Structure 1
Amino acid sequence: MFSILSTNFDSYYINNGKTVTVRQATILDAERMLVAATKALVDAPYMLSTVEDTQKLTLEDMEKVLSMIVKNPNYVQFIAEVDGRLVGAIDFRNGDKEKISHQGAFGMTVLPEYRNYGIGRALLETLINWAKNNSKIEKVCLEVMEDNIGAIKLYKTMGFVEEGRKTKGVKIENSYQDLILMALFV
């Protein structure tokens, strides 16, 4: 069973003088998350998902995903809110087989008009704290496009290290980007 309203949240001061609240998402956030995901992908050249990908999702699809996340103690979905507006999200899922269940990966989005204010850092700090308090999770992983210098810098300041590359891991029209594999042991 899951809680309808999240009482656990973290507050952070961000670069524009406002406060961002980061909390676990609930099924009641599904519609807002769908709308925000589409907006976050409009001007997001470094995201692996596209607006077209999110337009294929229904509200029922999002509710099912959130329900699955809430039921698994090693999955989590956080959302970031500023003045009550959903401005970012981060999700984490661990490996689904016993031998890889100690590690997992995350994906993160922030609305374009809220980028470079510290929202990503707030989401990531919350995720890392969650992982440190989860007895199963030992390693948090990510993939980032090689040209996403701002994100790579953030990840390095948070303690992530490069573990390898997927050469030409992303194809955009007729050009390629390597995916840098990074990880943090918690």
Structure 2
Amino acid sequence: MDTTRTHQLKDGRTLTIREAAPDDAAAIVAYLQQVPYESPYLGFGPGEFTTTVEQEVAIIEDHIQSDNKIFLIGLIDGEIASVNNFAGGHRQRSRHVGEFGITVREKYWGHGIASHMLTLLLDWAKSTGIVRKINLVTRVDNHGAIHVYKKLGFVQEGVHRRSMYLDGTFYDAIFMGIDID
């Protein structure tokens, strides 16, 4: 399946989504060091993303070589606007199921980028013949993301109480999933 797509955004700019390549590692690391300053919903905060460029290259290469993993980046004018990383299980009994993480740079929120990124992920999953279930975890107050997930067919499957602690407040997380038929 061709995993490169382009989309015209509401503001006229073009989003190009493609699989990450080892040459993207430095830009991805820089991006992932910046996004925690822009969103309180991530599982890591400012200064907590410590993956090196060399480690990121190894992660990307592992995804390229695997038939149940994909690492997507969304680019606008050559800048990373979004990262979406999915990994299925390593063992035979869990190869069919995995979890993804997605981030969108704050200045691109509200442009439909997450929907485009996740639609490509779902299309890829269907094409693999392996991935049959996709899971995610998000904070219960991440209303924009939850709206996107529900719009794409994800359903809530559970709640993990007090999953995140930030600035003196506990936040619950919800588990969502979608079956791939």
Name the counterpart of 1:28: 23
Query: What is the distance in 2 between the residues matched to 1:51 and 1:16?
Result: 29
Name the counterpart of 2:40: 45
Alignment of 1:99-110 (within 5 A): 99-110=93-104
Query: What TM-score results when the alignment is normalised by the length of structure 2?
Result: 0.94
Name the counterpart of 2:62: 68
Name the counterpart of 1:158: 152
Query: What is the distance in 2 between the residues matched to 1:39 and 1:181?
Result: 26
Q: Deviations over 1:124-178 (max 9, x none)?
A: 1111111011111001110010000000001000000001111111122421111
Total equivalences in the alignment: 179
Residue 68 of structure 2 contacts residue 96 of structure 2 at CA under 8 Å; is this kept in 1?
no
Query: What TM-score results when the alignment is normalised by the length of structure 1?
Result: 0.92
Name the counterpart of 1:15: 10
Deviates more, 1:158-167 or 1:168-177: 168-177
Q: Which amino acid aligns with 2:16?
A: T
Alpha-carbon RMSD across the aligned residues, in angstroms, is 1.2
The answer for unaligned runs of 5 or more in structure 1 is 1-6
Q: Which amino acid aligns with 1:182?
A: M
Residues 1:80 and 2:63 aligned together: no
The answer for unaligned runs of 5 or more in structure 2 is none
1:12 CA drift (Å): 1.4
Residue 99 of structure 2 contacts residue 136 of structure 2 at CA under 8 Å; is this kept in 1?
yes
Query: What is the distance in 1 between the residues matched to 2:99 and 2:27?
Result: 23
